[in-house]
Chain A
Amino acid sequence: MSGSQAHEHAGGGTRLYLGVWVALLGMTLVEVFLAYEHLPVNTMLVLLMGLSVIKAALIIAYFMHLRFERFNLFLVLVPMWILVTCLLFMFFPDSFRLQEFRFPR
Chain B
Amino acid sequence: MATVEAGGTTTSVWGGGASPFAIPSKKLGMWLFIVSDAITFSGLLMAYSYLRVASNDWPLPFHFWPSIVVASVMTFCLLTSSVTMVMAVAAAKQGRIGSTVSWLLATMLGGLAFIVLHANEWRTLIGEGLRPFGNPWGSPLFGAVFFTCTGLHMLHVTIGVMVLGIIAAGFKKGRYPADYVEIAGLYWHFVDLVWMFIFPLIYLMSVPLEH
B72 touches A59 (CB 8 A): no
The answer to whether residues A69 and B21 also contact, given A3-B3, A102-B56 and a CB cut-off of 8 A, is yes
Contact A81 B38 (CB under 8 A): yes
A81 to B37 CA separation, bound complex (whole angstroms): 10
Task: Name the CB-closest residue of B to A84.
Answer: B39
- The answer to whether B189 touches A63 (Cβ under 8 A) is yes
Within 8 A of A (CB), among B47-93: 49-51, 53-54, 56, 64, 68, 72, 75-76, 79-80, 82-83, 85-87, 90, 93
Given known A60-B193, A77-B31, contact A92–B204 (CB-CB < 8 A)? no
User: How many residues of chain A get a CB closer than 8 Å to chain B's CBs?
Assistant: 58
Chain B residues near A9 (CB, 8 Å)? 90, 93
Chain A residues with Cβ below 8 Å from B159 are none
Is B24 within 8 A of A14, CB to CB? no
The 0/1 profile, CB within 8 Å of A marked 1, for residues 7-37 of chain B is 0000000000000111110001001100100
Report yes or no: A32 in contact with B204, Cβ–Cβ below 8 A.
yes
A-B pairs with beta carbons under 8 A, tally: 147
Within 8 A of A (CB), among B182-211: 182, 185-186, 189-190, 192-193, 196-197, 199-201, 204-205, 207, 209, 211
A28-B79, A88-B46 given; A99·B54 CB < 8 A:
yes
Q: Which residue of A lies closest to B43 (CB)?
A: A88
The verdict on A98 contacting B54 (CB below 8 Å), with A3-B4, A36-B209, A81-B39 known, is yes
**For B46, what are the chain A residues with a Cβ–Cβ distance below 8 Å?**
88-89, 92
Separation of A73 and B28 alpha carbons in the complex (Å)? 9
Task: Check B87 against A1 for contact (C-beta < 8 Å).
Answer: no
**9 A/B residue pairs, CB under 8 Å, sorted by A:** A1-B24, A8-B93, A17-B86, A31-B199, A48-B204, A73-B21, A73-B28, A80-B35, A95-B54
| A interface residue numbers (CB < 8 A to B) | 1-5, 7-9, 12, 14, 17-18, 21, 24-25, 28-29, 31-32, 34-36, 38, 41, 44-45, 48-49, 51-52, 55-56, 59-60, 63-65, 68-70, 72-73, 76-77, 80-81, 84-85, 88-89, 91-92, 94-96, 98-99, 102
Please give the residue numbers on chain B whose beta carbons come within 8 Å of chain A beta carbons, in ascending order.
Answer: 1, 3-5, 20-24, 28, 31-32, 35, 38-39, 42-43, 46, 49-51, 53-54, 56, 64, 68, 72, 75-76, 79-80, 82-83, 85-87, 90, 93, 179, 182, 185-186, 189-190, 192-193, 196-197, 199-201, 204-205, 207, 209, 211
